[in-house]
Amino acid sequence: MIRSAGFRDVLASLGSLARGGLALGAVAGAAFLPSLVAAQAFPSQPVSLVVPWPAGGGSDIAMRLLADGATRRMGVPVVVVNKPGAGGTVGLKEVAQSKPDGYTLAMLATGALFAQYNNPAANALSDFDLIAFFGDDPSALTANAKTGFKTVADFVAAAKASPGRLRNGNDQPGGTSHVTVSLLEKALGVRVVKVPYAGYAPTVQALLAGELDTVTVGVPDVLQHQQAGTVQMLGVAATQRHFLAPDVPTFREQGIDFVAGTWRVIIGPRGIPADRLAILESRLLETMNDPEFKAKARTAGFIVSPLGRADTARRLAAEDAAMYPVFLEAGLVKTRQK
Amino acid sequence: MDFLFGNILHGLAVAMTPANLGLCLVGCVLGTLIGVLPGLGPTATVAMLMPVTFWLDPTGALIMMAGVFYGSQYGGSTTAILVNLPGESSSVVTCLDGYAMARQGRAGAALAIAALASLFAGTVTTFLIAWAGPAIASVALKFQSPDYVAVMVLGLVAAVVLAHGSVLKAVAMILLGIFLGLIGTDVSTSEQRFTFGLDTLFDGIGFVPLSMGLFGLAEIMINLETGAEGNRTRVAINRLWPTRRDFREATPAAIRGTLLGSFLGILPGGGSTIPSFAAYSLEKKLARDPSRFGRGAVEGVAAPEAANNAGAQACFIPMLSLGIPPNAVMALMVGAMMVHGIQPGPQIIQKQPDLFWGLVASMWIGNFMLVVLNLPLIWIWVKLLEVPYRFLFPAVIVLCGIGVYSLDNRLSDVVLMAFFGVFGYGLRKLECEPAPLLLGFILGPLLEENFRRSLMLTGGDASVFLTRPISLSFLVVSALLLVAVLLPAFRARREQWTEES
């Protein structure tokens, strides 16, 4: 690959020029440009927040909201840069290789945990400095209304009556909703057919089309259909009920200790100076704890549960301990085997 | 009907407020611009507009984003016609006859036909959404994996028709396209195929670098080789407006393109690219003299342009009424609604009548704005052709580079585009056509994914393809088409066309 840094930078700036022009045109009239007064202290120049996923997904929206709030807290623009590819690996690799000066941050999600074992080209979590935890997007077990399932117990009974017959829609092996259903099989002691789809939208569509019995996707993905009565959420895989679906009990309430879903963490390349790391951590936590931000994120369907660096590290270690055996069992661990 | 007009009037009242009219105009202008710039697509633009929508009223925000999306369908055909460079993936087939028309000095007519066909399709589809949106969305829910398999089979068989040279070469191109489509991570197993460990290939080859290389860059190389400088300026541009005969030929094609586009647009993975290919194939199949295609047939511009605009608008149907986004732009729009706490889905019409009807009505207004915007521009675009080629082509290459880079902010996509440019030049020398390759590239992976999923769902029982009525009927049509292609008499006629061309 031709990867001369100079050329890449030129292209990058050309790209952002083109985008800047467009964006400016769009905001003319409704301008809300933050003051660009450059203080000498950190941060004194724009911070890029790399989202290793395409624009428009849940992660992208969450990070755009965060960038919008953080811009005001930090006094410098925080700019979302989408660098999708290889399940987040491409964008994260670029961040891992960037200068650890605190001006290049990224969002890392559940999938990165998997990528480090499955893709030899992916970075390990140890290549990054963890800065803050954004929040969880819990998965839910949702059934087609035609199955008649109302509770997790109904699902378990049906799955035990005909093992390996119920069809669950999920993403590709190693993806969040695939891991969720794999962990669920363990927790419930059942076996289902795990049918892979390329993304959550086609998964939900297939559930509605009657091709599937259940899906294991996020709460917002199925909410409208739950309200329309075409699907039934059986249980939410979180410690508390989801505020969007307060009527749906958690798995724990139904006697099953099961928590799963997507979580999002803000990270930077390893080696950011401690003082800058502390500033970033406190500014991001301030942003996420701001009631106005919380309200905005909540309207958009996100649960924001900020954690600092130490707690984030503990949380990720626990996730790793739970998920690694699932990857191993599914034959997906190809590198960094423990 | 009263219900329909009452709602449309309500929608017009919402869409005609000065703020919403302004946002619609901003969206349409932006859409036209990014449509004209090759590679810079609606997805990137709508993504950049996202933060702005946090601060706008949701209806206005959606009106603007929608304007960008369908506006880009208008703009995308401009470069396809003028310099054989598809501004959007949905304009790829417009290159075939649009560019041929331009070479005959009829660029103005081609641009006008493209704009008017788009307006027609936009108007029809707006009413379709208003009148039967939710009902149509439920049709999409009848389609299960086996049915998609049958649709893809039909598409691949029909791809042979796209070619106007040798059938053997067309089949070879389709297979090559399918192979290129297999590169990347397999959805069923998460295994990497043919990636050689390169991150770049992990998600497969992008459609935009592939199509811009095969069409745009290859065309530039051919032009430079044949000294296009001379013959380009020699062609007199006789008139800007289409002739009466053009209209007569284009009208039925635009109607068929609209119908096909609105149907294909509502299926998942829908949008505007597949409809434009399908519409072109259909026109060629129906034409009394198919040899005209690829040499400046008006139908070859009208049908795909109508289809891509109809498809672009029809994919709002599953997004609004099911909450299921069929493509990335729709996903962004769902995102914009969620930021405001609006969940698109079955109840949106009752819960958010202003938003739903306002958006629908704005599409109609937007389509008029686009035509008013685009018709006078034709004169300027055509003037562009008089720019000496030695100045034009470097500019085009730079724009392509920026456009491809801006998709995912990846330099490797620019390298891929350059590679496929050279590859496309080789294909042109071998008289192999890139259009069937692109169709194989799109349909092949979808066919595989749905085929494997169908078997997974039935526990390996392949009879499902014959027992489901939808899949059976598509398979029967495919078989008939295949027989038609292979029939000796048919082959003789084909040879006859080939000789003519």
| CA atoms within a 13 Å half-sphere pointing along the CA-CB vector of B492 | 2
Query: What are the φ and ψ backbone dihedral angles of A55, each rounded to 5 degrees?
Result: -60, 145
Chain A closest-CA separation from residue B29 CA (Å): 10
For residue B133, give the H/E element and its range.
helix B107-140
For residue A47, give the H/E element and its range.
strand A47-51
C-alpha dihedral (B34, B38, B42, B47), degrees to nearest 10: -90
Of B425, B446, B346, the C-alpha closest to B143 is B446
pLDDT at A217: 93
pLDDT at B23: 94
pLDDT at A271: 95
**Which residues in chain B have Cβ-Cβ distances shorter than 8 Å to A83?**
408-410
- Whether the CB of B205 is below 8 Å from some CB of chain A: the reply is no
- Whether the CB of A268 is below 8 Å from some CB of chain B: the reply is no
Query: What are the φ and ψ backbone dihedral angles of A125, each rounded to 5 degrees?
Result: -60, -25
- Whether the CB of A5 is below 8 Å from some CB of chain B: the reply is no
Q: What percentage of chain B has pLDDT greater than the value 90?
A: 24
Q: What percentage of chain A has pLDDT greater than the value 70?
A: 88
Chain A residue at shortest CA distance from B319:
A201
pLDDT in tens, A18-29: 444 444 443 433
Do A82 and B408 count as a contact with CB atoms less than 8 A apart?
A: yes
Total Cβ atoms within 10 A of residue A97: 13
Among B25, B339, B398, which would you mutate to test the A interface (most chain A Cβ atoms within 10 Å of its Cβ)?
B339
How many angstroms from the chain centroid is the CA of residue B248?
A: 24
User: Which of B318, B340, B405 is facing A11, going by the closest CB pair?
Assistant: B405
The count of residues in chain A is 338
Cβ-contact A29, A40 below 8 angstroms:
no
Reading the block at residue B451, the tokens are 């085929």
Residue range A80-84: mean pLDDT, rounded: 88
* Segments in chain A forming alpha helices (H): 5-27, 58-74, 89-96, 110-118, 152-161, 176-188, 200-208, 219-228, 274-289, 291-299, 309-329
Do B45 and A209 count as a contact with CB atoms less than 8 A apart?
A: no
Total Cβ atoms within 10 A of residue B291: 17
Q: How far apart are CA A250 and CA A138, in angstroms?
A: 10
| CA atoms within a 13 Å half-sphere pointing along the CA-CB vector of B205 | 26
**Which residues in chain B have Cβ-Cβ distances shorter than 8 Å to A211?**
144-145, 457
Q: How far apart are CA B135 and CA B4, in angstroms?
A: 14
Pairing of strands A128-144, A214-218: antiparallel
Please report the DSSP string for A185-227 in residue order. HHHHT---EEEE-SSHHHHHHHHHTTS-SEEEEEHHHHHHHHH
User: Which of A12, A121, A299 is facing B341, going by the closest CB pair?
Assistant: A299
- Whether the CB of B395 is below 8 Å from some CB of chain A: the reply is no
pLDDT at A215: 96
* Confidence band, pLDDT 50/70/90 cuts, at residue A15: very low
What are the structural domain ranges in chain B? 2-500
pLDDT in tens, A166-186: 999 999 888 889 989 998 998
pLDDT at B373: 85
How many angstroms from the chain centroid is the CA of residue A234?
A: 22
- Whether the CB of A85 is below 8 Å from some CB of chain B: the reply is yes
Q: Report whether the peptide linkage leading into residue A43 is cis, meaning its omega lies within 30 degrees of zero.
A: yes
Chain A closest-CA separation from residue B13 CA (Å): 23
Of B42, B51, B107, B40, the C-alpha closest to B80 is B107
User: Which of B50, B202, B322 is facing A64, going by the closest CB pair?
Assistant: B50
DSSP code, position A101 = S
**Which residues in chain B have Cβ-Cβ distances shorter than 8 Å to A335?**
none
| CA atoms within a 13 Å half-sphere pointing along the CA-CB vector of B230 | 3
Low-confidence ranges of chain B (pLDDT < 50): 230-231, 233-234
- Whether the CB of A38 is below 8 Å from some CB of chain B: the reply is no
pLDDT at B405: 85
**Mean pLDDT, all residues of chain A:** 86
Chain A residue at shortest CA distance from B318:
A205
Please report the DSSP string for A254-286 in residue order. GT-----EEEEEEEEETT--HHHHHHHHHHHHH
Q: What percentage of chain A has pLDDT greater than the value 90?
A: 63
Q: How far apart are CA B249 and CA B296, in angstroms?
A: 12
Distances (CA, A) of B158 to A107, B152, B174, B456: 44, 10, 11, 27
- Whether the CB of A41 is below 8 Å from some CB of chain B: the reply is no
β-bridge partners, A51:
A82
- Whether the CB of B345 is below 8 Å from some CB of chain A: the reply is yes
Chain B residue at shortest CA distance from A53:
B408
Query: What are the φ and ψ backbone dihedral angles of A109, each rounded to 5 degrees?
Result: -125, 180
Pairing of strands A231-236, A128-144: antiparallel
* Confidence band, pLDDT 50/70/90 cuts, at residue A2: very low
Chain A residue at shortest CA distance from B345:
A224
- Whether the CB of A32 is below 8 Å from some CB of chain B: the reply is yes
Between residues 407 and 426 of chain B, which touch chain A (CB distance below 8 Å)? 408-412, 414-415
Between residues 161 and 180 of chain A, which touch chain B (CB distance below 8 Å)? 167, 172-175
* Segments in B42-90 forming alpha helices (H): 42-53, 58-83
* Burial bucket for residue B383 (CB in 10 Å: 0-12, 13-18, 19+): exposed
The residues, ordered by sequence, that sit 6+ positions from B362 with a Cβ below 8 Å of its Cβ are B11, B14, B15, B20, B24, B63, B66, B67
- Whether the CB of A15 is below 8 Å from some CB of chain B: the reply is yes
Chain A closest-CA separation from residue B457 CA (Å): 7
| Positive or negative torsion for Cα B188, B194, B199, B204 | negative
Q: Above 50 in pLDDT, residue A9?
A: no
β-bridge partners, A265:
A108, A133
* Burial bucket for residue A148 (CB in 10 Å: 0-12, 13-18, 19+): exposed
Distances (CA, A) of B24 to A19, A160, B342, B358, B365: 20, 55, 20, 11, 8
Do A197 and B340 count as a contact with CB atoms less than 8 A apart?
A: no
Pairing of strands B184-185, A193-196: unpaired
User: Which of B47, B54, B411 is facing A82, going by the closest CB pair?
Assistant: B47
Chain A closest-CA separation from residue B34 CA (Å): 9
pLDDT in tens, A257-298: 999 999 999 999 999 999 999 999 999 999 999 999 999 999
- Whether the CB of B51 is below 8 Å from some CB of chain A: the reply is yes
User: Which of A85, A201, A225 is facing B325, going by the closest CB pair?
Assistant: A201
DSSP code, position A178 = H
Q: How far apart are CA B31 and CA A133, in angstroms?
A: 37
Chain B closest-CA separation from residue A178 CA (Å): 11
Q: How far apart are CA A204 and CA A208, in angstroms?
A: 6
User: Which of B332, B405, B412 is facing A56, going by the closest CB pair?
Assistant: B332
Residue range A187-201: mean pLDDT, rounded: 91
pLDDT at B494: 58
**Which residues in chain B have Cβ-Cβ distances shorter than 8 Å to A228?**
345-347
Chain A residue at shortest CA distance from B410:
A83
pLDDT at B237: 59
- Whether the CB of B40 is below 8 Å from some CB of chain A: the reply is yes
Model-level ipTM above the cut of 0.95: no
Reading the block at residue B392, the tokens are 């034009």
Chain A residue at shortest CA distance from B321:
A224
For residue A331, give the H/E element and its range.
none
Q: How far apart are CA A27 and CA A16, in angstroms?
A: 16
Distances (CA, A) of A41 to A38, A74, A76, A276: 9, 11, 11, 10
Cβ-contact A96, A127 below 8 angstroms:
yes
Cβ-contact B261, B309 below 8 angstroms:
yes
Question: Residue for token digits 């690219």?
Answer: B273
**Which residues in chain B have Cβ-Cβ distances shorter than 8 Å to A85?**
199-200, 202-203, 408, 410
pLDDT in tens, B425-481: 999 899 888 878 888 888 888 899 999 999 999 988 989 999 999 899 989 988 887
User: Which of A7, A61, A93 is facing B339, going by the closest CB pair?
Assistant: A61
Helix, strand and coil in chain B, % to nearest 5: 80, 0, 20
Q: How far apart are CA A96 and CA A127, in angstroms?
A: 6
